Amino acid sequence: MSLFKFQRILLIIIILFLIPFSLNSQRLDGETNKKYFEYLEKYFQNKRIPSISAGVFKDGNIQWLDSKGMIDLETLTPAKPSALYRIASITKAITAVAVIQLYERRIIDLDADITSYVTYFPKKKWKISVRQLLNHSSGIRSYKNEDEFNSKMFYSSLKDAVMTFAKDDLMFEPGTNYNYTSLGYSLLAALIENVTRMSFEDYLIENIFKPAGMKNTRVDKQREIILERVKGYEKSPDRKFVNAPLTDLSIKIAGGGLISNCEDILLFTKALLEEKLISNESLKLMTSPTILKNGKRYDYGLGFSLSSANDSIIYFGHYGRGTGFTTGFLVEPLTKTAVVFLINVRDRNLQDPARDLILISKGYDIKEPLKTLSDYLFDKYNKGGIDSSISALFQLLSNDLKTEYNLSEQEYAYFGQELTDLRYTSDAIRFLRMLNRTFPNSFTILKTLAIAYYRDGNNGLALRYFREAQLLKSDDKYVNRMINILSGK
């Protein structure tokens, strides 16, 4: 037999051998994608959210993208993967990679004082390093209140944004504690501008977005017309959608001021894994936990959240909760798998769809996303009042449907708190007293009941239940302050 004929026969054998594996791989991919679709549909239904967009990157490609719901409830605009969501604190990971690029090029020193790069920032009692800004151990404060979080002020420059906190004292000596802050990332953006002589936005475009192929990511400028920009929402106390407050993100562009879609975030992770943005050595540096001067470990690196030491999944990524939005992306480096979700509402009980999608990608069966108890109870309340809600709760607890809901003590208390916020205090008190008989040693329920009595004008019973709550948790600042007020101290 000639060598040529032998090679042809060998090639045919190899092809015939590989065909079943290829077909099996396609079948498995098809089954997994079906599970992604089914999960997203169930998540959308159970969580009662306006919309969700999600995606999965695996085996070197984006394997799945999908969206459910409405990105604008007033115009009934359907969600689609190309729509641009506020990515909130996912922005920090992008900013951090930009900083590390400058470190790789030896333009900056991670342990240098930030004032050597941002000269208009005043020196403090202690030195603040670039590294400490990246890992939130700088001592720079967080937002003062919800109004600052939802700031409507337009800052025309990063310097103006930085000066909103520049004169404030540090909360602690840098490196001795951890305080998550978006404001500190504004200093990092200022660093980038000062050492590169480029605007922060232009630097990202040229050094992050273009190399990664991210064609849709941009700064969320409130005054500009941006096609396919998603509207953000919140839930009112009676669990109805309301428009999120109008905000201007110029106070925190580098910490939470970008808009993007799932495809672009997955392209960002792809570029990271393929060393198109930074080296693997630098990525390992960024995904190492923070160790404070006292030896305490925090599961946060340089711009990335990290899995805990005993977690069943080893990952890095970031989550975000911005005005009207909840977001997250995770990367499992061992399998080079990445997932992302973007939701246009800020609400509780949203759980962790990123982690669920990672588990589905690994072939695990997962539990259905839990429904929110207050959604169910307010459905009943709006039809038949508090009697209907209480009856529905007992009926729920007596059948198999209870496994579909988040039935934590905190979630029980939320319904009472929301009734109080709506000024239905007598109904709130009745519901919370019923809970107190069922969970007599619940700090959360006692505290919520005390607040309801206080709002109802019954200071005596409010003081009684605040004191009972204090016996269970003596260091709660709100409870202690209310006891002092009500007892005349």
Residue 219 belongs to what H/E stretch?
A: strand 218-219
Query: Is a pLDDT exceeding 90 seen at residue 355?
Result: yes
Total-model pTM: 0.90
Identify the pLDDT of residue 7: 56
**CB 342, CB 319: distance < 8 Å:** no
Residue 241 belongs to what H/E stretch?
A: strand 241-243
Identify the pLDDT of residue 14: 45
**CB 62, CB 213: distance < 8 Å:** no
Q: Note the maximum CA span of the chain.
A: 105
Give the domains, in start order, of the chain with CATH numbers: 85-361 (3.40.710.10), 373-486 (1.25.40.10)
Answer with the residue of higher pLDDT: 153 or 110: 110
- Read off the pLDDT band of 449 (50, 70, 90): very high
Identify the pLDDT of residue 8: 61
Q: For the residues 14-21, what does the mean pLDDT come to?
A: 45
**CB 333, CB 314: distance < 8 Å:** yes
Identify the pLDDT of residue 145: 87
**CB 232, CB 345: distance < 8 Å:** yes
Identify the pLDDT of residue 149: 87
User: Can you tell me the distance from the alpha carbon of 474 to that of 304, in angstroms, rounded to the nearest whole number?
Assistant: 34
**Tokens 């609400």 sit on residue:** 347
Tokens linked to 316: 């890095």
Identify the pLDDT of residue 21: 39
Angle at which helix 409-421 crosses helix 373-397, to 10 degrees, equals 120
Identify the pLDDT of residue 200: 98
**CB 303, CB 134: distance < 8 Å:** yes
Identify the pLDDT of residue 84: 98
Q: For the residues 365-375, what does the mean pLDDT come to?
A: 94
Tokens linked to 291: 């160790």
- Read off the pLDDT band of 111 (50, 70, 90): very high
Identify the pLDDT of residue 19: 43
- Read off the pLDDT band of 432 (50, 70, 90): very high
Ramachandran assignment for 350, one of left (phi > 0), alpha (psi -120 to 50 degrees), beta (any other): alpha
**CB 97, CB 316: distance < 8 Å:** no
**CA nearest neighbour of 132 among 119, 114, 115, 157:** 114
Identify the pLDDT of residue 22: 39
Residue 67 CA, distance from chain mean position: 18
Identify the pLDDT of residue 5: 58
Q: For the residues 336-341, what does the mean pLDDT come to?
A: 98
Identify the pLDDT of residue 20: 46
Q: For the residues 424-445, what does the mean pLDDT come to?
A: 96
Identify the pLDDT of residue 26: 43
**Across the beta sheet with 85-86, what order do the strands follow?**
85-86, 258-260, 218-219
Answer with the residue of higher pLDDT: 124 or 28: 124
**CB 171, CB 140: distance < 8 Å:** yes
Query: Is a pLDDT exceeding 60 seen at residue 57?
Result: yes
Identify the pLDDT of residue 24: 40
Q: Which of 1-15, 295-309, 329-343, 475-489 has the lowest mean pLDDT?
A: 1-15
Q: Measure Cα distances from 230 to 288, 318, 348 in Å.
A: 34, 20, 20
Q: For the residues 86-112, what does the mean pLDDT come to?
A: 98
User: Can you tell me the distance from the alpha carbon of 320 to that of 311, in angstroms, rounded to the nearest whole number?
Assistant: 20
* Strands 305-306 and 218-219, sheet pairing: unpaired
Q: What percent of the chain has pLDDT over 70?
A: 94
What values do phi and psi take at 300, rounded to 5? Answer: -145, 130
pLDDT digits (tens, 9 = 90+) for 203-262: 999 999 999 999 999 999 999 999 999 999 999 999 999 999 999 999 999 999 999 999
Q: What is the DSSP letter of 143?
A: -
Cβ neighbors of 455 (< 8 A, separation 6 or more) are 420, 423, 425
Query: Is a pLDDT exceeding 90 seen at residue 391?
Result: yes
- Read off the pLDDT band of 30 (50, 70, 90): confident
* Strands 345-346 and 233-235, sheet pairing: parallel
pLDDT digits (tens, 9 = 90+) for 399-416: 877 889 999 999 999 999
